[in-house]
Amino acid sequence: MSRLTRRTLLCGISLSVGVGALSVGTRESRLFASDSDSGSGVDDDAFDPATDGFGFDNYSTPPVAPDPTAFVSESALQESLSASWETALGDRLSLPASATPESQIRTVAERLYANANRLFGTKGYCYGMAMAAQWYFEEPSARPVDRESTSEIEHVNDPLEDRDSSPVRDDIERFHRSQFTDLESWLRRRVLLRPEWIDYRSQADEIREAIDEYGSAGLTISGENVLEAHYVLLYDYDVSETGITFAAYDPNDTADEYANRSDSRTVGIDTTSDEPLLGSYEGTYDRFLFDRTDRAVSTRIRADQDR
């Protein structure tokens, strides 16, 4: 689906360094407003959580994790890693120099499988929901149920009248599973363990480029325990002299919640100090990472669909 590029607006009000705080100045901006607001001025093809977000919020499996073999097997992980393994990737891992490629792959597979065993679905499906919402936004024909918008998908098991089929859930869980099986994505996220290595100025530029080109950008937000990270979609931004603020679609919130709120969830960057700003996530998360690999992973998963 073709997409318009963002408009550059000179406005009299801008966001200050504090996420969500207003100050007087000049800004380069997209507008933080819902398309459902007829006076918003947002591009008609811009991502709007009120219509492009799911009509249900994030869900999870029971507290006791399901057998991960229902989603991914350790042997399948080893096969996937073997297919994509390169010496350069092996060199980026903290493994004994004497380890053979086969033993390195087995070690990585064991780590990934352990994470899947502990985390798959028990902490929710934010990654899978964000990826699926992004896909349905970019390719409305990909929605597997007859709905005018993603917001009209009000249950993860839609269509409820067909108890033998849950295509929306299947899409979400397929995307969600990919984060445990893609080697490059796993390696690149390891920088979250050393947040001082993250170049937030470069991150800001890359995120803006992705939003301009695709309408949204996936973002991992995390605290010290990176295994409990969260995933959101950024879809709008506001640039001031001292910072940049991004509006976020959070799968933990339903589309209706965005339709009925006047503010947006936000993250940002203080460009005077290169520090991340976590807005309403402050206190829970303190770092974030945009990774272009997510786009490549998403493209591959989309292509693998057989419908």
Strands (E) located in the chain = 9-15, 22-29, 217-222, 230-239, 243-249, 265-270, 275-277, 287-289
DSSP 8-state assignment for residue 263: S
In this structure, the strands spanning 22-29 and 287-289 are unpaired
d(CA 159, CA 178): 24
Q: What is the pLDDT along the chain (307 residues), one digit of tens a residue?
A: 333 333 322 222 222 222 222 222 334 555 554 444 433 344 667 899 999 999 999 887 555 545 545 556 667 666 766 666 654 454 555 545 555 566 766 776 676 666 665 555 556 889 999 999 999 999 999 999 999 999 999 999 888 887 778 899 989 988 988 777 777 777 778 889 999 999 999 999 999 999 999 999 999 999 998 878 899 999 999 999 999 999 999 999 999 999 888 778 999 999 999 999 999 899 999 999 999 989 988 898 888 875 4
Note the Cα 45 to chain centre separation in Å.
Answer: 19
Amino acid, res. 231: Y
Q: What is the pLDDT of residue 297?
A: 86
Q: What is the pLDDT of residue 88?
A: 40
Taking alpha carbons only, the member of 254, 237, 255 closest to residue 246 is 237
Cβ distance 206 to 290 under 8 Å? yes
Q: How far is CA 175 from CA 46, 121, 182, in A?
A: 22, 12, 11
Cβ distance 210 to 227 under 8 Å? no
Helix %, strand %, coil % of the chain (to 5): 40, 20, 40
Q: What is the pLDDT of residue 5?
A: 36
Q: How far is CA 167 from CA 12, 57, 160, 198, in A?
A: 46, 17, 11, 37
